[in-house]
A and B are shown apart, each in its own frame.
Chain A
Amino acid sequence: MSIIGEIIISVLLVGAGFFGLVGSFGLLKLDQPMTRLHAPTKATTLGVGGVLIASMLFFLFFAEGITFHELMITLFLFVTAPVVAHFIAKAHLHRNWKPEDLPSPEGSTRWSTYCEPDQPGSGKPDSTEP
């Protein structure tokens, strides 16, 4: 039993390490700020996810029993990572891109990054419609 557990945990750790390494390598190799943004959001999903599953299995097989902390780490990562990526992308769009270079949104509006801050309803999705 314990040898099977050790093998599963080792495979998960090595796999997670590989994806973490590829994510970091992508950060170096990719050459545009927007493509570079893809690398770190990827390493957090499968790289960190594999380590966390391995950690849960380890405590389940060889230590005091089931732990929930890994689930919490996953939850907090999945809540924070997309928000940070979104704000980095917005800051980059704001400083380095012109609205003409981007595809236009549906209808006759603009992307909220390029709106004046004082305009009513700027950047706020309307929740009144059904």
Chain B
Amino acid sequence: MLRKFLPHPWLTLVVTIVWVMLVNVITLNAIVFGLILGIIIPIVTSAYWPERPTLRNPMMIIEYLLVVLLDIVRANIQVALIILGKRNEDMKPGWVTVPLDLRSPEAITVLAGTITMTPGTVSSDLSEDGHSLLVHCLDTDDPDAVVAQIKDRYERRLKEIFE
């Protein structure tokens, strides 16, 4: 019964918070209307998202966000230096394959998004069975180090959050 009424409790929470932030004032009005949207939207869309993702360790999300923000700033400076300081002929762009230990589709989506948002790497394709990710590097001497960094910094934490 509760499962039918609230197919995605986390989505309900997120939709409510997003609505209150969009309205930009914290009033009872906004919270109640946000809750109504937060209950209706997950029910209407539950046919397209049948499985409920498990969040094993939600507090870890904060640490993950901090690590990603720090990496974005640091890597942005690196990429700016590459763009401004290196000639196109000297760059070594290349593909790397990242083997995935993650299995939940939500976790893989977050990982692929993180790889794209951290400068220097763009996730380009997923293998047929969903067990490896194709990543393009802007400039790399050592593809193995890129893979090791992705696995150690992001995938390990995502595994703790989702699985």
Q: Which residues of A contact B (CB under 8 A)?
A: 18-19, 22, 25-26, 29-32, 34-35, 37-39, 41-42, 44-46, 49, 67-69, 71-72, 75, 78-79, 81-83, 85-86, 89-90, 93, 102-107, 109-113, 115, 121-127, 129-130
Asked if B104 CB lies within 8 Å of chain A CBs, one says yes
Known: A19-B76, A105-B131, A126-B130. A67 touches B83 (CB 8 A): no
Chain B contributes a number of interface residues (CB within 8 A of A) equal to 47
Known: A46-B73, A81-B117, A82-B123. A26 touches B129 (CB 8 A): no
- Residues in B whose Cβ lies below 8 Å from that of A102: 95, 134
Asked if B128 CB lies within 8 Å of chain A CBs, one says yes
Nearest residue in A to B83 (C-beta to C-beta)? A26
A107 in contact with B24 (CB, 8 Å): no
Nearest residue in A to B20 (C-beta to C-beta)? A68
B127 in contact with A67 (CB, 8 Å): no
A123 in contact with B83 (CB, 8 Å): no
Compute the total of residue contacts between A and B using a CB distance below 8 Å: 155
Q: Is the contact region of chain A dominated by helix, strand, or loop, or is it mixed?
A: helix
